[in-house]
Amino acid sequence: MVCAAAAGALLLSKQAFVPAPKTHRRAQISAVAGSVAALGAAPAFADEIGDAAKKLSEASYPYLKEINWNSIQFLAKPGPASAVDWAKAIDKAIVMGTAMDSKLLQDAVQAHIKAIKSIDANGVTSKTDYTAVNAAIGRLVASVPEDTTMAVYNAFDAIVPKDVAEYQMSQVKADDAKAAYAAFMDFKDVVRTHPIAPGVDVSTSKISEAKLSAIAEAANALSSASYPFMKDVDWTSDIYLKPFPGQSAPTVLKAVNKALVMGAAMDPKLLKEAGEAHHNAIAGIDANGLLSASDYYRVNAALGKLVASVPEAKTLEVFNAFKDAVGTYIPNNLYTLVGNPGDALAAYSAFWQFKDVVKAAQM
């Protein structure tokens, strides 16, 4: 596994992100930039986040190697928080994602893809790839407003039991964990004091407006036909937060890697539009976790356009990877949990018609 921030985040304290003297720092940057411009020279900025990532990786790699990354516990929900609680926390992460610099986001995804290729039998990536992941994540977080980052931390801090960190500590050498924590705190300070202004999102796909409109129309048909099925589903069930039965962490990681590859190929502008559609939908869910019919349509339309921006081969690789991980048991079991099987069949039929429209528009 290569989630570099996860190990430190489990131990992160609430005092970690102290508001920086941003006005003073901006004045310093402006002064330096003005002086360089006056001299007619091109400014050469040091890679402080990259340098800090090297120090973090060096100090925390021993700790990383002690973690059992093949454990299924990383795929399980910690604590008693409800599915709706988790949806609300994930929403904060979606908001943070939509605020990120698109180029840095793509770089971070590519770093994870490369790191997954170098993992050993214990799920540990190489130190070089680990460093690249840390640097990419650091730059990515630096492109997001501090209060947005803290909103994510606070949301997950509220639903993850406090004894999770204690348990994780008990599974490794305490000194190595403490060294990793100290290095992470130093890294966090560098990231916080070196903000990066996100760039303007530019569409990379060449999908015509006519095809985008066709996807929107198909999404409307799908949403109308499948919303009764949506209302039949128990969205408060913990079943959606459980690991795939009978599947190992490495198997699921391979499927996730295919999703990362697909994500890296997505149109950045459409990706953010899809994130915003999900954010709005989660904000409007009811006590049973059901989103409104209008928000459901907007999510379907946004996802259809997003998938259309990706080559068909990459989409099918994700489908096949998760098909193997899910098997036949999960869909058969979910079908039995629906109150009206006819609604499920109608939704299935409408989805395949929607798929054909998206495929016709696909790059």
Domains 4-192 and 209-361 share a fold: yes
The answer to whether residue 159 scores a pLDDT higher than 90 is yes
Report pLDDT for 24: 37
The answer to whether residue 13 scores a pLDDT higher than 60 is no
Task: Give me the helices (H) in 76-145, please.
Answer: 83-99, 102-117, 127-142
Comparing 338 with 28, the larger pLDDT belongs to 338
d(CA 287, CA 247): 32
CB atoms within 10 A of CB 150: 17
Confidence class for position 276, pLDDT limits 50, 70, 90: very high
Note the CATH number of domain 4-192.
Answer: 1.40.10.10
pLDDT, one tens digit per residue, over 237-274 is 988 888 888 888 898 999 999 999 999 999 999 999 99
Report pLDDT for 73: 84
What is the rounded average pLDDT of the residues 170-195? 97
Report pLDDT for 39: 35
pLDDT, one tens digit per residue, over 199-226 is 998 888 889 999 999 999 999 999 999 9
pLDDT, one tens digit per residue, over 306-354 is 999 999 999 999 999 999 899 888 999 999 999 899 999 999 999 999 9
User: How crowded is the C-beta side of 137, counted as CA atoms within 13 Å?
Assistant: 24
Handedness of CA 268, 270, 276, 277 (dihedral sign): negative
Nearest CA to 310 out of 299, 319, 297 is that of 319
Q: Where are the domains of the chain?
A: 4-192, 209-361
Q: Which amino acid is at 208?
A: S
User: How crowded is the C-beta side of 342, counted as CA atoms within 13 Å?
Assistant: 0
d(CA 18, CA 341): 53
The class level of CATH for 209-361 reads mainly alpha
Instruction: Report CA-CA distances (Å) from 85 to 88, 119, 171, 230, 292.
Output: 5, 33, 28, 19, 18
The answer to whether residue 355 scores a pLDDT higher than 80 is yes
What is the rounded average pLDDT of the residues 126-153? 98
Report pLDDT for 240: 87
Q: What is the pTM of this model?
A: 0.85
d(CA 205, CA 210): 14
Report pLDDT for 208: 94
pLDDT, one tens digit per residue, over 63-100 is 999 999 998 888 888 999 999 999 999 999 999 999 99
